[in-house]
Structure 1
Amino acid sequence: MKRERELRPVFSRRALLLGAAQVAGFGALGIRLYRMQVLQHGKYATLAKQNSVNERMLAPLRGVITDRTGLILAGNKQHWRALFMMIQAPDPEAVIDQFAHLIPLSPAERTRIARDIAGKPRYVPVLLKDYLDWSDMAKIEVNATALPGVFVDVGASRTYPLGDITSHTIGYVARPTQAQAQDNPVFALPGMRVGRAGVERARDDALRGNPGIVQTEVNAHGTVIRVLDRDNGTQGATVQLTLDAGLQRLAAEQLAGQAGAAVLLDATNGAILAMSSRPGFDPTYFDAGVPETVWKSWMTDPKRPLNDRATAGLYAPGSTFKPNVAMAALECGAITPSTTFYCPGYLKLGNHTFYCWRHQGHGTINVINALQQSCDVFFYHTALVAGIDRIAAMGRKLGLIGALPLDLPGVSHGFLPTRAWARQRKLLWTKGNTVIQGIGQGFTQVTPLGLATMTARIATGRAIGPHIANAVGEIVQSGRAPDDWPSLGFDIRNLAAVRQGMFDVVNTQLGTGYASRLTIPGVFMAGKTGTAQVHDLTQAQEKANYDDANLPWKFRPNAFFIAFAPADAPRYAAAVAVEHGNEGASVSAPIAQALITAALTRDLTPAPPGTIRNAPQAARSLVDHTAGPA
């Protein structure tokens, strides 16, 4: 008992000390908890939310491109894809290796993924695999714990319902460049595409739209548990074109198997109704990346399918250039509508003989008859009296050269030589040079679009400018009335003479385009044929009137035809070029006839802006609207 009494004070002191320590410890813990739960509640609530909720941007859905009736020419198709959030994976390389073990990745895909990982912020998703099927998605879901940061999402790819028929005009989209992605995080988003050619490039800003945001709940492994909120952003604007899909298809069909271009304008306001360049290409390849085998086939094709012949193809126009020469000479007073020159079938100049296509000659002939029968000798003389500088100036006035108000990239300005140009290059300009330019050969180079513009300006006497955008969103782009285009200031008598000559080309038996006259009762077409050499013939061959059809295909002349109709009240203007077609009268003229006939017999009233027609159904309906001419 004595021993117990001695220990009690000691035990009480120890208990007191232990109790005090416990009180102090719990007090400190309580203060810490109070600070965390009360004073710093907002801070830690945010951190906790960030540990369980993830936010990322979404690439916006690209706007659609339609024709004048609302038919979709460029749209979007949804598909499934696998994305990877690097920020949710401690070892990104290991995750990618595990993913590749489940779903094979090609060497090109591995290279792209490595480039994206190196160039993107960790909070921006990286595309692992596009176009997943159900079995691929099942593998990802089953192995979710082994693939932290990997998730399946819906994406969109670009579609072109008319395929290669509109490939050059509509253009295509592709992934942004590395520089674009570094400058703007939006460009780094999976599925983001930018326009690289055609309308896709010209209207890229409007078509691109604004990005959205998706909020997902993730677990400790970085696996997406559920989507909490999704804002898809704002889809890009709808761009409605002046193109008519039926006429575009018809132009492609008429050019089938050939290398060439066909352009049809509304001559009253410059709206492009059809602009076909053949052969074309499949623009959908550029969305995901062109396979090497496809690219090689394009590069080795002698008809060069990637070349846009309508807007960037430069050609010596042959006799379709003669209306320009005639207007230059008439307007400067070098000739009048009644001026005549004698054509014996050739023109001797120095020690060289320039032959007419008709070696027996046309006799005494004026400008109207010279256009009708395409007399070369008349235009040799006309070019000499007008001079090369006036011919070039008229070419600029008629839209053959210089910038056109066309809302497309890569449009060539064409070229017509001048004496100043020759002096700058230390070229001795001779009369022989001028003679050759007088029939659209030599240095002269123009585009089919330039020829169509020239034709529309001769038909109306106004500075008609081609354009292809009808409306962007709800904003109408091409509402100019015919009278809004400024007058070119030509003497009406000179215009009448050139128009009459072009009328006679098609509607009189001596005309070089008589076989392609319209068959619509009471409606007449005016036009001009053209054949341009691409291979120099020897003097002996020229003298013997050598048949170019005997040459290999690549050496045969290019064939051209320009036209407008109705001749008395012009509404449509066309230009057709067929490479190595040999004769414009037999090859290109029927194509222009078919296009103008179809246009004259159809209702071409544009649909209200924003109208969208279902592409597959509309494409089927085109069959009835694009039957050949009567």
Structure 2
Amino acid sequence: MRRAPRDTEATSRSVTRRALLMGGGMAAMVAALGARMRFLGVEQADQFRLLAEENRVSIRLIPPARGLIQDRNGKLIAGNEQNYRVVITRENAGKTDAEVEDVLNRLSNIIPMTAEDLADAMKELNPRVNSAFVPITVAERLNWGDFSKVAINAPALPGVTPESGLSRVYPRDFDFAHVVGYVGPVSEKDLEGLREAQVETGAPIDPLLMIPKFQIGKIGVEKWMEDTLRGTAGTKRIEVNHVGRVMRELAREEGVKGKDLRLTIDADVQNFVQARLGEESAACVVMDVNNGDIIAAVSSPSFDPNLFVRGISSTDYRALTEHDHRPLANKVVQGAYPPGSTFKMVTALAALEAGVIDENTVVRCPGYIEMGGIRFNCWKRGGHGPVNLKRGLSESCDVFFYDISQRVGIDKMAEMGNKLGLGLRHDLPMSAISAGIMPNKAWKQETKGQDWVIGDTINASIGQGFVLATPLQLAVMAARIASGRQVAPRIVHSVNDIAVPIAEVDGINLDGSKLRAVQMGMYEVMNGPHGTGRGSRIADPTMQMCGKSGTAQVRNFSESEKLSGARKNESLPWRLRDHALFVGFAPADAPRYAVSVVVEHGGGGSAVAGPIARDALLRALTGGMPPLSAYPESQRGTIETQQNAMQLRKPDGSLPAESKV
């Protein structure tokens, strides 16, 4: 049905009004949006540009957890502890030094900070020293209360951020200071070495090392196993507002923890030996003769490596450097000493191997020999009379070795010394390892520009003159004599619980009968009726030891001093007294451990170093406090008193309260 014209007209007017209303509303909305967009994009442009620039996304490195170091039984030697610290970023703290200094001053009103701390922080925050984007640690090892204060006041401290991280700690402090070492901040000297290595190898420098106050190993295992222990950095993306406050963490990628190390050292044996050496300036090494494992490597006196991690004071450092017993030196590998009579096995084996003597060769000792108008005395002024190899070793007759050394010559002696581990730098992850000196004719010509003379050979035959050896080398010598094999020392047992392979070793290519002749001489030293080491023997027949003591002069004496008795150790100042030495192994019939002991200016080797070596061997063999039954009956009362006085660690590794420094 057709609509009337009037109805069509009315409908058309209604649609037109609605369209106009809707169009007008939409136009108003577009106009309002346009006005708002103009306001935000034009009038507020500067403000939003500033906010966009100051509300930054920053990428920061996350230092990984450093690998743990444990003893052979899994006891912790070096670990990580929680460290509450405060960092500041120059870029967010202020544009000028005055603004940065003002932030630091406000921070010092919240947590303890000395004037020196503030000065150091300003130095580190200097853009010429570190990038303005790099967070600088200005305080660490805060307690929870101070850490919380910083967090609460963070809005008023632009650029300041409280953080929680890890720091190195050495729970067995003094016992492993020389072996494990310690960590410290990367120094300019460290960076110079890294840059030189980068030029040579082309390998990039780990960015972790560029973080101010990032800590790396400085000495010992911590230094030489740094790449293994350090791990790989992680990263985090954080949003920081215009006053430098961290608003949120946007993303995080964790790093890779450093690898854990397990050493060959037994922490309990190490502690026993450390306590046994006491305040002596000394060193002791206990070594497995079968695989070269170092069971104990002690240098005394020691120091607390935790002091270096936390920042040692100038007073404490001066006390260490000025101490006449040199506590910072690792005497085990750095100390090179005349080996004295402990060298006589080298002379004997060289002569036996060269065929110039056999075990029955006899030398008459009147108490001295004369050579080129010079008298070389035996320690026994009246002489020993007729002496063969066994007696020469057991009673340590100097004249016997003076004589046979002239027959064999220094070059053969030097070859034997090298074969037994002397004059060689043994490869261990320890600092400043000395190679000692095993001289020969060529060595003297090269180093002194002089010809070798017979007097040099005579002096070398008893471990004096130019011969120098470290306690580590002497332990290796004893182990090779005990085993007849070229056993090499090692100190890393496993990495991440994967055992480090033990290299196959060859024999030392000595006739078995000749080696046994020397071993028997060392047995007589300890157990023979006239042996010089009899006072330090082990009474238990299942653990009897073989050994050789040595007494090394540190200066020459005139004939008048010798005749007047002025050379007696007890009459001399400490620094002029003889060094006391001892090497040995046990059990005699099936050697398991070798030992070496050097006591600086200790006097007689048999009286001073021998008892220490015996106790160290017994502790390793028995796995506990040496039983009194292992000692000669006449000594048991003294030994019991001595053992009761030793300040040993508790089973949890802590020291008795009265022994803490």
- In the superposition, the TM-score normalised over structure 1's length comes to 0.86
Residues 186 and 212, structure 2, Cα contact 8 Å, conserved in 1? no
CA distance in 1, matches of 2:564, 2:522: 29
Residues 156 and 191, structure 1, Cα contact 8 Å, conserved in 2? no
Deviation at 1:184, TM superposition (A): 4.2
Structure 1 residues 463-520: Cα deviation after superposition (integer angstroms, max 9, x where no partner): 110010001113311445xxx3111111112111111100110011211111111132
Q: Is 1:467 matched up with 2:490?
A: yes
Q: Secondary structure at the match of 1:393?
A: helix
Deviation at 1:354, TM superposition (A): 1.1
Match of 1:536 in 2: 556
Alignment counterpart, residue 251 of structure 1, candidates 259, 264, 273: 273
Structure 1 residues 83-132: Cα deviation after superposition (integer angstroms, max 9, x where no partner): 11223233334322332344353344234323422332233210011122
CA distance in 2, matches of 1:50, 1:469: 50
Match of 1:63 in 2: 67
Alignment counterpart, residue 125 of structure 2, candidates 109, 112, 117: 117
Matched AA of 1:342? R
Matched AA of 1:520? D
1:486-501 aligned at under 5 Å gives the runs: 486-501=506-521
1:74-473 aligned at under 5 Å gives the runs: 74-91=78-95, 92-118=100-126, 119-178=129-188, 183-189=205-211, 192-227=214-249, 230-424=252-446, 425-473=448-496
Matched AA of 2:549? T
Residues 59 and 191, structure 1, Cα contact 8 Å, conserved in 2? no
CA distance in 2, matches of 1:266, 1:234: 34
Matched AA of 2:65? L
1:604-615 aligned at under 5 Å gives the runs: none
Deviation at 1:549, TM superposition (A): 2.2
Residues 180 and 187, structure 1, Cα contact 8 Å, conserved in 2? no
CA distance in 2, matches of 1:473, 1:89: 42
CA distance in 2, matches of 1:393, 1:28: 97
Q: Secondary structure at the match of 1:493?
A: helix
Q: 1:187 to 1:488 in 2, by over 3 A?
A: same
Matched AA of 1:253? A
CA distance in 1, matches of 2:87, 2:253: 18
Residues 264 and 273, structure 1, Cα contact 8 Å, conserved in 2? yes
Deviation at 1:385, TM superposition (A): 1.3
Residues 161 and 616, structure 1, Cα contact 8 Å, conserved in 2? no
Alignment counterpart, residue 520 of structure 1, candidates 540, 556, 560: 540
- How many residue pairs end up in the alignment? 581
Match of 2:601 in 1: 580
Deviation at 1:423, TM superposition (A): 2.0
CA distance in 1, matches of 2:653, 2:537: 30
Deviation at 1:226, TM superposition (A): 4.9
CA distance in 2, matches of 1:346, 1:303: 35
Matched AA of 1:88? N
Task: Give the stretch that moved more between structures: 80-89 or 291-300.
Answer: 80-89
Matched AA of 1:358? K
Residues 67 and 231, structure 2, Cα contact 8 Å, conserved in 1? yes
Q: 1:344 to 1:57 in 2, by over 3 A?
A: same
Residues 60 and 192, structure 1, Cα contact 8 Å, conserved in 2? no
Q: Is 1:551 matched up with 2:569?
A: no
Q: 1:523 to 1:288 in 2, by over 3 A?
A: closer
Q: 1:356 to 1:406 in 2, by over 3 A?
A: same
Q: 1:386 to 1:107 in 2, by over 3 A?
A: farther
Task: Give the stretch that moved more between structures: 87-96 or 493-502.
Answer: 87-96
Matched AA of 2:293? A
Structure 1 residues 528-555: Cα deviation after superposition (integer angstroms, max 9, x where no partner): 0100011222113334665322212211
Q: Secondary structure at the match of 1:166?
A: helix
Q: 1:307 to 1:179 in 2, by over 3 A?
A: closer
Deviation at 1:32, TM superposition (A): 12
Matched AA of 2:400? F
Structure 1 residues 290-346: Cα deviation after superposition (integer angstroms, max 9, x where no partner): 210011111211111111111110100110011011111111122221211110111
Residues 81 and 168, structure 2, Cα contact 8 Å, conserved in 1? yes
Residues 558 and 582, structure 1, Cα contact 8 Å, conserved in 2? yes
CA distance in 2, matches of 1:163, 1:30: 67
Q: 1:108 to 1:366 in 2, by over 3 A?
A: farther
Q: Secondary structure at the match of 2:427?
A: coil
Deviation at 1:212, TM superposition (A): 2.3
1:590-629 aligned at under 5 Å gives the runs: 590-602=611-623, 618-619=652-653
Residues 56 and 123, structure 1, Cα contact 8 Å, conserved in 2? no
Task: Give the stretch that moved more between structures: 535-544 or 201-210.
Answer: 535-544
- In the superposition, the TM-score normalised over structure 2's length comes to 0.82
Deviation at 1:50, TM superposition (A): 8.6
Residues 101 and 122, structure 2, Cα contact 8 Å, conserved in 1? no
CA distance in 2, matches of 1:389, 1:60: 53
Structure 1 residues 355-376: Cα deviation after superposition (integer angstroms, max 9, x where no partner): 1111111111111110110000
Matched AA of 2:273? A
Structure 1 residues 128-182: Cα deviation after superposition (integer angstroms, max 9, x where no partner): 1112234433442343222111111113222111111211011111101236569
Deviation at 1:422, TM superposition (A): 2.1
Matched AA of 1:568? D
Residues 420 and 480, structure 2, Cα contact 8 Å, conserved in 1? yes
Matched AA of 2:652? A
CA distance in 2, matches of 1:390, 1:527: 23
RMSD: 3.0
Matched AA of 1:455? A
Matched AA of 1:382? I
CA distance in 2, matches of 1:554, 1:90: 58
Q: Secondary structure at the match of 1:281?
A: coil
Task: Give the stretch that moved more between structures: 311-320 or 224-233.
Answer: 224-233
Q: 1:408 to 1:179 in 2, by over 3 A?
A: closer
Residues 364 and 384, structure 2, Cα contact 8 Å, conserved in 1? yes
Q: 1:474 to 1:32 in 2, by over 3 A?
A: farther
Residues 185 and 216, structure 2, Cα contact 8 Å, conserved in 1? yes
